[in-house]
Structure 1
Amino acid sequence: MFLVGLTGGIASGKSSVIQVFQQLGCAVIDVDVIARHVVQPGYPAHQRIVEAFGTEVLLEDGNINRKVLGDLIFNQPDQRQLLNSITHPEIHKEMMKETFKYFLRGYRYVILDIPLLFETKKLLKYMKHTVVVYW
């Protein structure tokens, strides 16, 4: 199985490229979807975010208020680093679970849609290939 990293800016055409890969029989893992999933109530990252940033980052239904949290970390690199230290390990775990699931199903290629693939650099070493979509 080969891992292929896919990245690109907003409105660059990544969705169209993903559709082509899917039509070719590739599995696709959207890391943005995973990132939203791991911060839902009941997951470890959710609890750790509330412990680190307080209940003021919660909506009435218990979900994370992404705007409030974003405002807290936007101009504060130390707070952004704290949030990343909470969420990134959980995101990586879920990515690995999804990848393994596709491996067991016999997929030859798994496309990982990772918005900050080059900026974070941590996952590049696992990619057989990388695809950058730009407009």
Structure 2
Amino acid sequence: MSVRTISGLAREGGVGVETIRFYQRRGLLPTPERWSPQGGGGVRRYGDEDVRRLKFIRSAQTAGFTLEQIRELLSLDAGQDRARARELAAERLAALDRTIADLQDARTALRRLAGVCASQDSGPCPIIAAFQGDVPSSQA
């Protein structure tokens, strides 16, 4: 097992030191005791399990899970809690589907506005007017 300081952990996890501290305050990463060969103060040492956990947190965030959902996923027993993990994944997939649908609607509306803008040489720009709420619903 290799050990590293908080800066080494941050570097391996692709985050800043303050992100590590934030995760510790939120209870997602443990805060190790300070270690010194002479006893007393010293530096905190992080192991391979901390790197694995940090990478898990970052991957789960990339998938769109909230920190609270990530905390729950981390607390699940890998062998016994598959049903809850599937439930959390299904909730996240449903949220992604809603976001994708909203983005597709936005793309369609913007494409339509861009077409109207290209076909008109005078008058207010329909794109800017739409963001100001001034476009008739037939154009938006």
Mark yes or no: TM-score above 0.5. no
Larger of the two Rg values belongs to structure: 2
Higher relative contact order (CA 8 A, sep 6+): 1
After TM superposition, the score normalised by the length of structure 2 is: 0.28
Name the TM-score, length of structure 1 as normaliser: 0.28
Higher helix residue share = 2
